């Protein structure tokens, strides 16, 4: 079943009905209050998302969306566009970083062709590839909109459908990765327009531009933003500057929040997709766990926009969902301590005594 745009935007607020009970359980574990740091907040968030005091990590999944960008013809990336298709084949063959990290994290990995320009080589029918191309790459937004509004909405629906597929299989934790030559250019323009930030503060080296290449990239993107200066509505901004893989991620974020999944947010590109989703349905961010701070320029600023504290800071800038995958063991640890640690009462361990003169101390005399 295909969701309409209005249905996708119907994301419930997280709700705080279990917050106090979860905090009480966390505080009565056999440890000093707050001594498990960020894991305590993570356990509480997972319980609130799942509406239970005994949250679980069930069938965690990673969807990597791949698509090409017409803006690549402006020389904004040092790699040729054919690399997108080559990396998709590498994902399917199990040879990429996200394959290795998914194995470590116990993630179900799926690759989605959202709009790869170069024909893919023959792949096994049993592979993890799902072929859903909206078109063979977007148009060049230096001269025209990257996609039509209808194409953007179709991509949202396709991304949402993949999340529903995994939800039906029992997934309650999901992350999104991407592959697409020149997609840091799309992400930078989305960030600049939706956050009102000058493009120079959003643009980074992507896959490794030198100083001259970085200057060219900034100039190309500044001119593109000026060309489309009147585009402000979120869907239109996505259609103008986005990629099919980014648009599918936007739909995936929206549907994952609707399904009350915990959503692992990866790096710069994935967070740009979240930025669009959050602008459309602001409660989406409440379901998000910000996995890491990318080394790509602009990501720190985007995290600050969300008021987010990342779990990891490893100077990653690869994409593919790699940072999100590395955070999965921390989610497992958070639910493990909440579900498996004894309380002071059940373990027969004395709780800390109150300071002399406190209300509790006075009552004990």
**Tell me, what's the pLDDT at 365?**
34
Query: Nearest CA to 178 among 312, 290, 88, 241?
Result: 88
**Residues ≥6 apart with Cβ < 8 Å to 149:** 235, 236, 239
Catalytic pick from 12, 320, 345, 359?
320
The pLDDT value recorded for residue 82 is 95
Three-class secondary structure of residue 11 per DSSP: coil
Complete domains list, the chain, with CATH? 61-336 (3.40.50.10210)
Return the pLDDT at 1: 57
40 is catalytic: no
Res 363: pLDDT: 37
Instruction: Point out the residues of the chain with pLDDT beneath 70.
Output: 1-2, 126, 207, 353-365
The pLDDT of residue 16: 87
The model scores a pTM over 0.75? yes
Query: What is the predicted pLDDT for the residue at 124?
Result: 76
| Cα separation, 244 vs 247, whole angstroms | 5
Q: Which pLDDT score is estimated for 88?
A: 96
């Amino acid at each position: 079943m295909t969701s309409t745009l209005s249905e996708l935007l119907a994301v419930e607020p997280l709700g705080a009905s279990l917050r106090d009970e979860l905090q009480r359980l966390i505080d009565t574990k056999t440890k000093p209050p707050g001594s498990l740091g960020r894991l305590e907040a993570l356990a509480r968030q997972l319980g609130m998302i799942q509406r239970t005091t005994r949250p679980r990590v069930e069938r965690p999944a990673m969807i990597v969306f791949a698509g090409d960008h017409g803006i690549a013809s402006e020389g904004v990336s040092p790699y040729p566009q054919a690399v997108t298709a080559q990396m998709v084949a590498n994902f399917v063959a199990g040879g990429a970083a996200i394959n290795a990290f998914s194995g470590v994290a116990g993630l179900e990995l799926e690759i989605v062709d959202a709009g790869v320009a170069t024909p893919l080589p023959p792949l096994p029918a049993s592979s993890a590839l799902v072929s859903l191309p909206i078109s063979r790459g977007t148009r060049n937004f230096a001269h025209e909109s990257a996609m039509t509004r209808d194409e953007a909405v179709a991509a949202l629906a396709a991304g949402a459908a993949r999340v529903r597929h995994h939800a039906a299989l029992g997934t309650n934790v999901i992350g999104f990765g991407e592959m697409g030559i020149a997609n840091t250019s799309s992400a930078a323009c989305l960030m600049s327009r939706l956050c009102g930030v000058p493009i120079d503060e959003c643009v980074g080296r992507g896959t490794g531009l030198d100083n001259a290449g970085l200057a060219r990239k900034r100039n190309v993107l500044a001119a593109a933003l000026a060309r489309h200066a009147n585009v402000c509505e979120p869907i239109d901004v996505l259609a103008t500057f986005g990629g099919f893989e980014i648009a599918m991620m936007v739909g995936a974020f929206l549907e994952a929040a609707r399904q009350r999944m915990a959503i692992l947010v990866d790096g710069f590109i994935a967070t740009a997709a979240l930025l669009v989703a959050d602008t459309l349905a602001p409660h989406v961010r409440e379901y998000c766990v910000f996995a890491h701070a990318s080394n790509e320029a602009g990501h720190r600023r985007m995290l600050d926009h969300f008021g987010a504290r990342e779990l990891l800071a490893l100077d990653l800038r690869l994409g593919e969902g790699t940072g999100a995958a590395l955070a999965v063991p921390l989610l497992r640890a958070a639910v493990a301590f909440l579900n498996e640690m004894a309380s002071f009462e059940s373990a027969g361990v004395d709780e800390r005594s109150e300071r002399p003169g406190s209300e509790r101390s006075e009552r004990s005399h």
